[in-house]
Amino acid sequence: MIKRNLLVMGLAVLLSACGFQLRGTGTNELSIKELDVSARNAYGNTVTQLRQTLENSGVRVGAGAPYKLVLVDEKETQRNLSYASAGRASDIELSSLVIYELQGRDHLPLMGDKVEVQKVVSHDGNNLVGSDSEILQARKEMRSELVQRLMVRLQQLSPDKLAALQQTADNKAKADADALKAAKEYEDNTPKQSPVEVPVE
């Protein structure tokens, strides 16, 4: 009996490690069921992969959705961590960064943040083709990780959280509009001074 229980537990751990989830118990469920997605590079690899991942998670992606995710900026950088001597490879740190903003009703910004992924690869000066291929592969893996991190951020947005963010954005927009209106009324009601006439001698 104990052996059988241990076997079942072992299989469950093994299956979960492989990414298997029982139907209805998945953790990739999003409260947002419709989402518009845009980016500065509308057909870039990151936004394309993000749209596909969202659709695979049951989200309808397209214009007219109540929420909009904007990839405001995307940067890829690299820097040398070490310099190679003759016959040795150097270490390069790759970095990928995405700055994003979630908009709600009336295009009001609800939240904004950034996700960043870093990875260290070796660059062999004696094998440029192989090294460049390894960097391209690393960039592809980093892009997938960026998308997954964005998905995790979206998964944390419960209906209550979204409603609270929208209420805060609405209140701020109203306060800004009221302040602008008050400033205009003050300006309109303030007597305009006539230009001072300088007597001509």
Residues 138, 147: Cα–Cα separation, whole Å: 14
Residues 67, 72: Cα–Cα separation, whole Å: 15
Classify residue 86: in a domain, yes or no: yes
Classify residue 8: in a domain, yes or no: no
Classify residue 131: in a domain, yes or no: yes
Question: Looking at the 3D structure of the chain, how many domains does it have?
Answer: 1
Give the model's pLDDT for residue 24.
37
pLDDT averaged over every residue in the chain: 82
Classify residue 160: in a domain, yes or no: yes
Over the stretch 70-92, which tens digit does the pLDDT of each residue have?
Answer: 999 999 999 888 776 655 668 88
Classify residue 190: in a domain, yes or no: no
Give the model's pLDDT for residue 6.
46
CATH of the domain at 68: 3.30.160.150
Give residue for tokens 């009221």. 178
Classify residue 72: in a domain, yes or no: yes
Residue-number span of the structural domain to which 84 is assigned: 27-178
Residues 35, 37: Cα–Cα separation, whole Å: 6
- pLDDT classification of 141: cutoffs 50, 70, 90: very high
Classify residue 89: in a domain, yes or no: yes
Amino acid residing at 121: V
Over the stretch 113-130, which tens digit does the pLDDT of each residue have?
Answer: 999 999 998 876 655 555
Give residue for tokens 């939240």. 111
For the beta sheet containing 34-39, the strands, ordered from the edge strand earlier in sequence to the opposite edge, are: 60-61, 34-39, 68-80, 90-103, 109-123
Over the stretch 96-106, which tens digit does the pLDDT of each residue have?
Answer: 999 999 999 99
Classify residue 169: in a domain, yes or no: yes
